[in-house]
């Protein structure tokens, strides 16, 4: 490996991806690879500006830019039912949000696309704004519903403001009986074609890193609970709901999601999922 070149790889700065990055955070990271830790939306933009060669990205974002990217095999952030960290908090039942003020976090593409798709399917037309939502104080009293994700969804007392808690992972499962894929790991297609061996090395490192993560899951749970000031039992339950692989069932589920987005005119063309081989 040419030590003079340092490649940049994205890292989600929520606790949901901690099992995948555990080994890299604990000695596996080689000197030719640098990890850049940001929320999903920032990583999405860094992939498009080609500031990163490879990164976890929002699954919907892959759908929008599939011609420039390839998905790494066997990595995702997915759920089968409840996900706990992607929530629509609302003062009203979903069907009553027509004409109401809905604020979407600017940190996610997949959750925002999914929620807009649900509104479209149900003929609900809310007044939508997108902005940063990290704390409960970021949401004014005149907001009728808020899409919150990641650590903010887990830690903030949203029930003080809202009566309804709609878990989007569970909502999708009720609709389709399939898992929901929130994020995938993607590589620049041009880089993968030019430097396939480097990408293979990174895939191998990520697999080792994840293996170490699940072997040390209690340590990850403790670190997550400490970081977010949450009860360990709650954090353990959260990790039990998350899957970090990308098997055939999840590939088919993501194809279903893309088909929905295409039919609701939220994707300009049909998306063919292509993996780095």
Cα 74 to Cα 185: distance, rounded to the nearest angstrom: 9
* Domain 86-176 in this protein, CATH class: alpha beta
Pull the structure tokens for residue 115. 């929620």
5 pLDDT band, cuts 50/70/90, is confident
Mean pLDDT of 64-92: 97
- Give yes or no for residue 1 having a pLDDT over 60: no
Phi and psi angles of residue 51, each rounded to the nearest 5 degrees, phi first: -80, -15
Domains 7-80+179-263 and 86-176 share a fold: yes
Pull the structure tokens for residue 110. 């997949």
pTM of the model: 0.93
- Give yes or no for residue 127 having a pLDDT over 70: yes
| pLDDT score, position 31 | 96
| pLDDT score, position 4 | 75
- Give yes or no for residue 81 having a pLDDT over 60: yes
Q: Write down the CATH number for the domain with range 7-80+179-263.
A: 3.40.190.10
Mean pLDDT of 111-134: 95
108 pLDDT band, cuts 50/70/90, is confident
Cα 213 to Cα 208: distance, rounded to the nearest angstrom: 9
Phi and psi angles of residue 55, each rounded to the nearest 5 degrees, phi first: -170, 155
2 pLDDT band, cuts 50/70/90, is low
Tokens 């000031």 locate to 229
CB 211 within 8 Å of CB 25: no
Pull the structure tokens for residue 205. 């490192």
139 pLDDT band, cuts 50/70/90, is very high
Q: What is the DSSP string of 33-81?
A: EEEEEE-HHHHHHHHHTTS-SEEEEEHHHHHHTTTTEEEEEEEEEEESS
Cα 219 to Cα 140: distance, rounded to the nearest angstrom: 37
Cα 58 to Cα 76: distance, rounded to the nearest angstrom: 10
| pLDDT score, position 120 | 94
56 pLDDT band, cuts 50/70/90, is very high
Mean pLDDT of 19-30: 98
Average pLDDT, the chain: 96
DSSP-based helix, strand, coil % in the chain, nearest 5: 45, 25, 30
Cα 266 to Cα 157: distance, rounded to the nearest angstrom: 32
Considering only CA atoms, which of 28, 65, 32 is closest in space to residue 47?
Answer: 65
| pLDDT score, position 274 | 98
What percentage of residues in the chain have a pLDDT greater than 70?
Answer: 99
Tens digit of pLDDT for each residue in 162-217? Answer: 999 999 999 999 999 999 999 999 999 999 999 999 999 999 999 999 999 999 99
3 pLDDT band, cuts 50/70/90, is low
Cα 154 to Cα 166: distance, rounded to the nearest angstrom: 13
Question: How is the chain split into domains, by residue range?
Answer: 7-80+179-263, 86-176
């Amino acid at each position: 490996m040419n030590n003079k070149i340092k490649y940049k790889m994205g890292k989600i700065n929520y606790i949901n991806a901690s099992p995948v990055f555990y080994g890299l955070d604990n000695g596996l990271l080689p000197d030719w690879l640098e990890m850049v830790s940001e929320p999903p939306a920032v990583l999405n933009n860094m992939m498009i500006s080609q500031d990163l060669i490879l990164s976890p990205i929002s699954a919907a974002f892959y759908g929008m830019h599939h011609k420039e990217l390839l998905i790494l095999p066997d990595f995702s952030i997915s759920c089968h039912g409840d996900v706990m960290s992607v929530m629509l908090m609302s003062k009203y039942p979903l069907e009553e949000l027509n004409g109401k003020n809905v604020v979407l976090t600017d940190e996610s593409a997949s959750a925002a696309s999914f929620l807009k798709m649900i509104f479209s399917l149900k003929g609900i037309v809310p007044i939508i704004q997108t902005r940063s939502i990290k704390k409960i104080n970021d949401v004014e009293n005149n907001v009728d519903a808020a899409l919150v994700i990641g650590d903010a969804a887990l830690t903030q007392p949203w029930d003080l403001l809202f009566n309804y808690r709609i878990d989007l992972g569970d909502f999708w499962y009720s609709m389709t009986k399939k898992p929901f894929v929130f994020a995938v790991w993607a590589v620049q297609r041009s880089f993968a074609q030019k430097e396939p061996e480097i990408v293979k090395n990174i895939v191998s490192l990520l697999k080792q890193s994840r293996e170490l993560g699940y072997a040390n899951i209690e340590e990850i749970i403790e670190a997550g609970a400490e970081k977010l000031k949450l009860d360990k039992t709650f954090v353990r339950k959260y990790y039990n709901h998350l899957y970090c692989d990308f098997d055939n069932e999840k590939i088919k589920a993501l194809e279903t999601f893309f088909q929905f987005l295409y039919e609701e005119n939220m994707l300009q063309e049909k998306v063919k999922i292509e993996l780095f081989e």
